[in-house]
Structure 1
């Protein structure tokens, strides 16, 4: 079976995605699959074989080498950010009727949009921070924000990952700088109240026919919050399993499962929660979680004692069973 491991993307998260793709290539069962490294980056789309690049034909997502055309039986999608985590590639592959891993284009687009995700989950009584939605060019007073949310508060891009463009505002003087930082990533932003408590990252997937929580990881950042530096440059401790009692662990597991199911998810995901006053508050969900050596999801798979190759088998099987929406 020919498997394209698609990595890269058009955002600053591309470098993380390329690392994630390498872990997948290393863990695919070579007795079952012939895997191909495929880059979707700003410089172009191409298959990489022995350090040589072969252009992807966008009419059918194939490539030709030495006069031989290769088409893929399935795709493992590990593109972080746009266009692989926001639904664009998923819609394209669906039109081509090529099976792909992870959730479909609608869930991808929905969950990449923080505001819309929070709006949907509000119907299911999922606790979350208070928030203000702001579009670039719209005036807002820092005094109004403080009156509504208090200090400190967070400013974050509406559609971005890896904590890119996120700031914690501890005093009013930092507000304009935080706005500029967030708007550099997206034209829409969220301003959220500060939740004081333990941060927990939860790996969830559909495995062996049911929604499965891999593990709970406690995040202890050396920085003011779990920012890009803390995530990828070693400025945090990630403790798996999280130091929670059995009752609280069960609360977080139930909440993460509820989020995953009510969003109609499929495939790998990582949900973030802050436990404040004994209640897990939802922060966000990542539908293409990082799979680099520094990433949390592989750590949780190891804790759950599930071989990563089996998780990849499961993802490919789910992809092959799923039919395009118009054929259901």
Structure 2
């Protein structure tokens, strides 16, 4: 019997449209011989299934079911394609754990930790993971420009602490640009992380659980036409994404081992994509995404294809892994 798969898309953040793109790619490539896919839109106003006639069917949050053509539909697995809150920060993961439905991303604690850039970095530092120098701000804190720049230097990056897709991020080259950059980041989050500039080759490393084993996918080198790998570079073709990356065998091994170590330290399951810059010859950790983009332009599907894994096979494996993990925990 085919399994009912809820493809979660939307969310409550600026990444809503990107999530819809990801969810539609999952819907397009899901194996119809094994699964019945349902696109489930998650919005602040309601959770609903939109059928082929553009009719909304509201999801009952008590058991995550819905009525369609007079029949109650229950779901075997929730495929998480939500970027930002509530899909990437642990909220949706905790909900599905409470009601006992397998979901495809990592657990709620790992999701909350990795979504919070500064907490994630703080967790990894005792393990000797190299990172940029950072300075932290909460909204309402006194801003001492000289103190900040004495610590991180110029240029530097100002980032919303809990945001993705490069929303709320600026590269600051002059002291007078710092306060406007901070205000921009506060539009996305009430916490900010300011980081020193790392010069060097930027790479993205996908790590997944595939057929019960950890697999590090071919590395992607990021060459942005803009100042950094911003929204335009990620989604509007303003970058080159070269897979496999143009690294020496030694550097390839170095960053692959680091990415796998971080995946295991943080106890992630399912997909992950982490970012590094080779600064002074060593890969420095930037951030990790546990619900990475799955649009046609996204890096992780490109890496899987380079590894000889079709998108359909990748999706099927992720769904079956989620069921196995759920059954082993309960």
* TM-score, normalising length: structure 2: 0.97
Residue equivalent to 1:232: 235
Query: Structure 1 residue 105: deviation in Å?
Result: 0.6
Distance 2:235 2:43 in 1: 20
* Structure 1 segment 90-129 matched on structure 2, within 5 A: 90-129=93-132
Q: Which residue among 258, 262, 269 is the counterpart of 1:259?
A: 262
Query: Is 2:106–2:269's contact at 8 Å kept on the other side of the alignment?
Result: yes
Distance 1:277 1:163 in 2: 24
Query: Is 1:62–1:69's contact at 8 Å kept on the other side of the alignment?
Result: yes
> Helix, strand or coil for the counterpart of 1:37?
strand
Residue equivalent to 1:41: 43
Query: How far does the alpha carbon of each residue in 1:113-154 deviate from its partner, in whole angstroms, 9 at most, with x for none?
Result: 011100111121110001011101111211111111111011
1:68 counterpart = 2:98: no
> Helix, strand or coil for the counterpart of 1:57?
coil
1:220 counterpart = 2:223: yes
Unaligned runs of 5+ in 2: none
Query: Structure 1 residue 324: deviation in Å?
Result: 8.2
Distance 2:281 2:104 in 1: 35
> Helix, strand or coil for the counterpart of 2:120?
helix
> Helix, strand or coil for the counterpart of 1:247?
helix
Query: Is 1:9–1:17's contact at 8 Å kept on the other side of the alignment?
Result: yes
Query: Is 2:93–2:105's contact at 8 Å kept on the other side of the alignment?
Result: no
Query: Structure 1 residue 56: deviation in Å?
Result: 0.7
CA RMSD of aligned residues (A): 1.2
> Helix, strand or coil for the counterpart of 1:215?
coil
Residue equivalent to 1:25: 27
Residue equivalent to 1:9: 11
> Helix, strand or coil for the counterpart of 1:205?
strand
- TM-aligned CA distance change 1:324 to 1:183, over 3 Å: farther
Query: Structure 1 residue 29: deviation in Å?
Result: 1.0
Query: Is 2:212–2:321's contact at 8 Å kept on the other side of the alignment?
Result: no
Query: Is 2:155–2:172's contact at 8 Å kept on the other side of the alignment?
Result: yes
Query: Structure 1 residue 310: deviation in Å?
Result: 1.4
Residue equivalent to 2:60: 57
Q: Which residue among 248, 252, 257 is the counterpart of 2:251?
A: 248
* TM-score, normalising length: structure 1: 0.97
Q: Which residue among 193, 198, 220 is the counterpart of 1:195?
A: 198
Query: Structure 1 residue 260: deviation in Å?
Result: 0.6
> Helix, strand or coil for the counterpart of 1:310?
helix
Query: Structure 1 residue 323: deviation in Å?
Result: 3.4
**How many residue pairs are counted as aligned between the two chains?**
327
